[in-house]
Structure 1
Amino acid sequence: MQRPDAGTRISHGARIRLSAASPATGFRGRIAGLAGVVALAALAVLTTVVPGPGQPSAQAADLGPAAELKLGYFANLTHAPALIATSQDLLADQLEADGTSLETQLFNAGPAAIEALNSGAIDAAYLGPSPALNSYLASGGTSLKIVAGVSSGGASLVVSPDISDPGELAGTELATPQFGGTQDVALRHYLAEHGLDQQATVTPSSNATLTQLFGRGAIDGAWVPEPYASLLVENYGGHRLVDESSLWENGKFPTTVLVVSQDYLTEHPRTVEELVAANSEAIGWLNAADQQHKAAAVQEALAAANGSSFDETVIAAALEEVSFDEDPLADTYQTLIDHAAQVGIGQTGSVDGLVDTRFLATQEH
């Protein structure tokens, strides 16, 4: 595998030895020696690679396989490749040959995962694209890279039966998994597009909490990922007022992407390659398995991850709403950035350099 090129440079640790000026050379010798130092310093500047936006420091280097990979993901069906890769040891087996251990951590939504990634608490994460885009732009293109796609589709605005038209959302209480998350941005933008952003209340809550709130009528609806959208429909009498796929060209929009800290990617590209390979293997299994085996495996993985399980009808319905694919759908990112900026979340900017597909190119599709 080709390693990232850190560029040609003169080591900052190199020492330049100068002979002391002798009586014979005197002042002129010292001037000549000083000129030599200046020339060498200029050469160092000219031969040092200055990184552009989103590129790692020239001092960064490939340190080989990491001792540990700390991975974050959610107990959502849109994160099924992560669930399968971890529960069936696909990722652990990939890492084992290099002596890399795996540590996983569950999150409820993207902003919390991004905070952990930026602090170094985790090295990589499965999360929605909006928090990833916001982090990249806020850091000036230095925080993370998207190294693979994971899933598309599988997000809906589910509302109570008495709401049948977007105009009826005025005066309602709605929820999303977390402020600034992908579903949160989607709902706020949808309301703004329909002139309802000042007429409906949006309260971020965890998926488990908003499910309970909807069940007892404390909220009128929620924009949520699968399997929670199907749970609200199948078990709590809700209906899909908006299937987000209907808002996108060809019905394709990214729900989950795989991101890696740029520092970790630069220092341990081999480990990232193994992570992408396990993601690919899990996606391949999900797309090849029959519905019954797929539902059973996802159900078991969800239960193992957070101790909760869903009815078979819920899982079956949810799987019909989600597509699994390594394509990161990068052509949608500018639209997502614009949507977030329009509702006052995040900032505008270029996403050039955000996606790193070098490991996808090594996989067989």
Structure 2
Amino acid sequence: MKKRNLKNSILVLVIFSLLFLAAAGTTAASDLEEITIGYFPNITHAPAIVGVSENIFVEQLNGIKIKTKIFPNGSLFMDALATNQIDLGYVGPGPAINRYLQGADVKALASASTGGTVLVTRKDFEYNSVEDLKNKIIATPALGCTHDLLFRQLIKDNNLNTNRRGGSIDHRAQKPATMVGLFATKQLDAAVVSEPWAARMEADLDSKVVVDWNQMPWNGKLPATLVVSTSEFIKNNPELIENFLKAHQKTVEYINNNPVESSNIIQKQIKEITRQKLSLEIIERSMKRTNITSELDSSVVQKLADLSAELGFIKGDSNLDGFIDISYLNKVTK
């Protein structure tokens, strides 16, 4: 009898302990007082820049304090997400895909922008079609980056290849700032770059955009920037995620409905963050080549991953099943 009572007492204690832990976890999620959003001071991150500046996130998140963390590249962003320095934010598809396939906890919830990447040539380059890139010197910002993969698909679609893979195009990796000097000294014929670099090259060098953002592979539907978080944070804070995406969608609509005001906000915020001032003309031209949208086409993202694997930048399986979760976005936009 005593043994049975002891067992019952232990069972009751275990049940109460589990209920206490469950309640504690629920309280921690619902009582969240502050979140940290990560993003870059880039044109393609316009929803983050405008949403933070205009307090759209603050108003939608019911009093939760918003902290921000600015990043210079996707690798550092993904490090911060993995170590809980940020809770969610905006990053290019390449870094997010690579970390996911390496086993990291990352989920893509929405797009922030598509397009924004173009093929630009030196002003005296006689360009009529992609075939004119044969035996020319072409640059991309880095090997395996999103712009580089768009370039590889562009020439693949036209039965061309780079000298790195037995083709006729002299392909080089150069930082956009370096490309400007190479264009000026005629050491570079063309480049695939994102905005605002193309607009700056047009303004400063009379360079020509010969393949616009919506003429690039996949008709410009490849996300330039994704909204991402971790599955753990999403699971613990579903209401917050939904409200965040409501704010994100409101900001997307605000930018599209107020292009002049948005360009002014972006100009001001980029100057405050980077201490560099872009002219309104550059920003407005860049924004016309950047489609600000929350719509996320998972099939295009998968094609990007498959191409990256084909070219050897991703080792192993490129299957992105489980990477994208647009269920919260669908609730917001239905």
TM-score (structure 2 length as normaliser): 0.79
Query: Does the 8 Å contact 2:39/2:45 carry over to 1?
Result: yes
Q: Which has the higher helix share?
A: 2
Pair 1:61–1:326, CA change in 2 (3 A) = farther
Match runs of 1:153-232 below 5 Å:
153-163=115-125, 164=127, 166=130, 167-168=132-133, 170=135, 172=137, 174-176=139-141, 178-191=142-155, 194-198=160-164, 199-205=169-175, 207-208=176-177, 210-211=179-180, 214=183, 219-232=188-201
2:109 pairs with 1:135: no
Amino acid at match of 1:136: Y
Name the CA distance, whole Å, in 2 between partners of 1:112 and 1:212: 28
Name the CA distance, whole Å, in 2 between partners of 1:200 and 1:190: 15
Amino acid at match of 1:338: D
% identity of equivalent residues: 25
Out of 78, 102, 106, the residue aligned to residue 71 of structure 2 is 106
Which residue of the partner structure matches residue 3 of structure 1?
none
Which residue of the partner structure matches residue 274 of structure 2?
306
Out of 229, 235, 238, the residue aligned to residue 260 of structure 1 is 229
Name the CA distance, whole Å, in 2 between partners of 1:90 and 1:358: 22
Out of 39, 58, 83, the residue aligned to residue 73 of structure 1 is 39
Pair 1:67–1:217, CA change in 2 (3 A) = farther
Query: Does the 8 Å contact 1:79/1:256 carry over to 2?
Result: yes
Amino acid at match of 2:90: Y
Which residue of the partner structure matches residue 298 of structure 2?
330
2:312 pairs with 1:350: no
Out of 31, 46, 52, the residue aligned to residue 86 of structure 1 is 52
Query: Does the 8 Å contact 1:131/1:180 carry over to 2?
Result: no
Which residue of the partner structure matches residue 19 of structure 2?
none
SS at the partner of 1:310? coil
Aligned residue-pair number: 308
Query: Does the 8 Å contact 1:111/1:180 carry over to 2?
Result: no
Please give the root-mean-square deviation of Cα atoms over the aligned residues, in Å: 3.3
Match runs of 1:26-37 below 5 Å:
none
Shift of 1:364: 4.5
Name the CA distance, whole Å, in 2 between partners of 1:345 and 1:105: 26
Shift of 1:213: 5.4
Gapped regions of structure 1 (runs ≥ 5)? 1-17, 21-32, 34-39, 41-57
Shift of 1:196: 2.0
Shift of 1:357: 2.1
